[in-house]
Amino acid sequence: MDMQNLSANAPLVVAADVRKQFGSLEVLKGINVTVPKGEVLCIIGPSGSGKSTFLRCINQLERIDGGAIWVGGELVGFRREGDNLHELDDAQVARQRRTIGMVFQRFNLFPHLTVTENIIEGPVQVLRENKAEAKERAHALLERVGLIDKRDIYPVHLSGGQQQRVAIARALAMRPQLLLFDEPTSALDPELVGEVLNVMRDLAHSGMTMIVVTHELGFAREVSHRTAFMDQGQLVEIGDSRSVLASPQQARTREFISAVHK
């Protein structure tokens, strides 16, 4: 596939026959999916189906064993010279990773830094932004996620939902073209889930391109453009979210959605 000459309508993310193994275990068995710019794609499926591994491959936290991924028209993790592919070195991988924000189940905030310091760490250290300007933007992002009053607090004094909202602000501070969410509400108490989903809903409405691994089927139905169902390392079904969640075409998808709703 030639992704060198992107048109204005080209997809932001292309995964072509993506494969990943851990030892003899084949975790991704040829994933093919495209994500247009501005789309929200939710990925659902049982634990162990390869959903999180797929996200980690997009962000190069895992190296793929077959196929290819492009983000913004750039081949991820490799450079092509003629018919040959060469793995990128760590510095080149880090450069590519800057354009992709990732929000994890666990918030991964630095405990010794305040909320503001957590958010400006990347822009100042990696992007070399002016510290005062980075702090001003961090406060604007905290306003956006409803936490400006917590700007000088340390993470230990925040609820799980508040820490996750800070983590989202921190990802946004790097000005990503793509946001990946790996089950961002699964570690939260039920009463805190809504405040995180509200922030994600706002991002979706703003046109941010997002790939969200989630068990929140209501969020997928309401906010995402498309939903994909994965099982045993394969993309079983993908389509319009309301259609997939209301009347899935594949029996395995129907079984999963029925079990989740019980």
Is residue 57 predicted with pLDDT exceeding 90?
yes
Using one digit for the tens of pLDDT, what is the confidence trace for 134-157?
999 999 999 999 999 999 999 999
Is 155 inside a domain boundary? yes
Is 239 inside a domain boundary? no
Query: What pLDDT is recorded for position 260?
Result: 84
Is 251 inside a domain boundary? no
Number of domains into which the chain is organized: 1
Q: How many CB atoms lie within 10 A of CB 129?
A: 18
Query: What pLDDT is recorded for position 4?
Result: 43
Is 70 inside a domain boundary? no
Using one digit for the tens of pLDDT, what is the confidence trace for 65-90?
999 999 999 999 888 877 777 888 88
Q: Cα(230)–Cα(122) distance, rounded to whole angstroms? A: 33
Q: Cα(131)–Cα(190) distance, rounded to whole angstroms? A: 36
Q: How many CB atoms lie within 10 A of CB 67?
A: 16
What domain range includes position 166?
A: 109-175
Is 134 inside a domain boundary? yes
Is 20 inside a domain boundary? no
Is 141 inside a domain boundary? yes
Banded pLDDT at 2 (limits 50, 70, 90): very low
Is 135 inside a domain boundary? yes
